[in-house]
Structure 1
Amino acid sequence: MTDLLTPQDIARRTAAAADAAVAAGRDLGLTVTDAKVLYELFSVVVHLAPAPVVARIPTVLPSYADLDSLAHRQRAELDVAQWLADQGVPVIPPSPLVPAEPVRRDGFSMTFWRFVEEDRDRAPDYAANSAITADLHAALRTYPGRLSYLSAAEPRFITDALASLEQRPDLVEPADLDRARREWRVLEPLVRSRAAFEERFPGIDLQPVHGDSPPANIFPGVDGDLYSDFELITLGPVEWDLAALGPDLEAAYDRRALSKGMRPLDQDVLRFVNAVGMLRTIAALTLAPQLPALLEYLEPAIAQWRTAPFAGGLADLP
């Protein structure tokens, strides 16, 4: 495979994103003399020190994503995070020092957030994080913003990726691609159509959900845990936020949900969201040229998928 970015390529991309964030921050009136990259994977996250502001710049994206579509998603994220902060929900809010709008600079679209000191001595407690995801769902139920149904599933990404992977046997085995396509024919109608979902899963309410595994996106601040990273905020079943976490973390969520008068997770819906999540994993192989580390990261999940029921067993459900 010759089109994988090298470590040097990725370093240049990270530096370009950080430079764009520094320039944009200064244009907005921030004093930035000691910028530091805090994190990089699908996005580059930069502390614009000494300003108490963090810039997040998405850098690994599907081929069809452009600055307009990215900004649309970023506006929704900024809106929901600010709304939650206004309700007193513990969340990393947009920075109050700059307008809460995506900013374009040098081919990037970025957002600006309040800097929060991380408690680096505390290991993640995923059971506790799964439990307080029920608190987040309770808070999000009254979010007034308009959201699209299951946009976090990114159906275009899956469809386009399954088509392009036909030309990439170096990324996916033909048998895996064949199975993924057949599963998508079962699952796609339920992902694209709210009416189809509601017919298949009667009585399952839809509401605003985080969209990107909140138990893995709870930030350990020195003054307490904060919800973060609402890039995939969407309308969907609460099960979407617990996909692929397993029975122990599902049980932690259920205990908290029941204590708050909320319904427990539905096992059939969990099978559905887990199956869709696995197809997003297959689709993510198309991002490997931009982020080669994905290949090693995704392989264990793909190996597990090969032994799982077809389409999560959904084709056999009544």
Structure 2
Amino acid sequence: MKHLKKALALTTLAVAMNANAQTELTVYTAVEAEDLQKYAERFNEDHPDIKINWVRDSTGVVTARLLAEKQNSQADVVWGLAGTSLLLLKNEGMLVPYAPEGLEKLSPKFRDRDETPSWVGMDAWMAAICVNTIEAEKNNLPMPSSWDDLTKPVYQGHVVMPNPNSSGTGFLDVSAWLQMMGDDKGWEFMDGLHQNISRYTHSGSKPCKMAASGETTIGVSFAFRGARLKEQGAPLELVFPEEGLGWEVEATAIVDGTDKMEAAQTLVDWSITRKAMEMYNEGYAIVGMPGVAQPVKYFPENADDLIIDNDFGWAAGNREAILAEWARRYDGKSEAK
């Protein structure tokens, strides 16, 4: 009995020592909430000595929080935030340049252009329009084929899209429209679109989910979410507007000021491994390591031909002004936070 008690005591002590030996990282993210446990568990399979404490919100909120904490950073790592947001943080001197192990395996589109990058990409998502075919028929609405179609009076009250101040998907839409159409025509287009919007959501996936459930006829969202919902049986038609599609990279970076550099580098190293890329592919059709992504049913095979030549530097540099102007014009239809 004494030997059993001693063994139990030693086991308890070993567990306690292991817990105490864990390094805790505060990780800011805009990754979908339902995926956070999976991300941490897959990482901990390889690195049980590092515990992730998530701080999760929408892209705009996380970006604003990081900027507000510039002089007293609370985050160690950002894992899963829009590349334009990270470029903005880089320009503010808030990121630590670091070349993670395996960097050469990434597509050049999925890394900061500096020799020692300040951020590295995980996956990418692109815009799409989700149309509920049952509701469209019920309301006698034609199937749109372009962004401009969504400004037609027939769609009044039938369109939902994300608020770019809180949603990365919303910002990639607005940024793309301004890049494709130019400043004057871009805002003119959004004025017309606004007349048909029933509400602006604070989530990029929500408009497509609402279309899938029949809460709205048309949801401006992103392609992968629509493809997955359609595969699950939702009465959706996915439209990829002929003018072109906005897109964005989801990325990872070390925040300047962390006192846990070794653990932070370990996480960033792991974030671009093949195992991590295969995990991202469960939620995104496009990932940073070529040759990893598996085909996704209903996702366009010619995605590279559909997306615009996105100027991420321009988008990051003009982000604050764009968001302020958008809020001034359209925020009255945003849903409550």
For the criterion TM > 0.5, the same-fold answer is no
Q: Structure 1-normalised TM-score?
A: 0.30
Flag the structure with larger Rg. Answer: 2
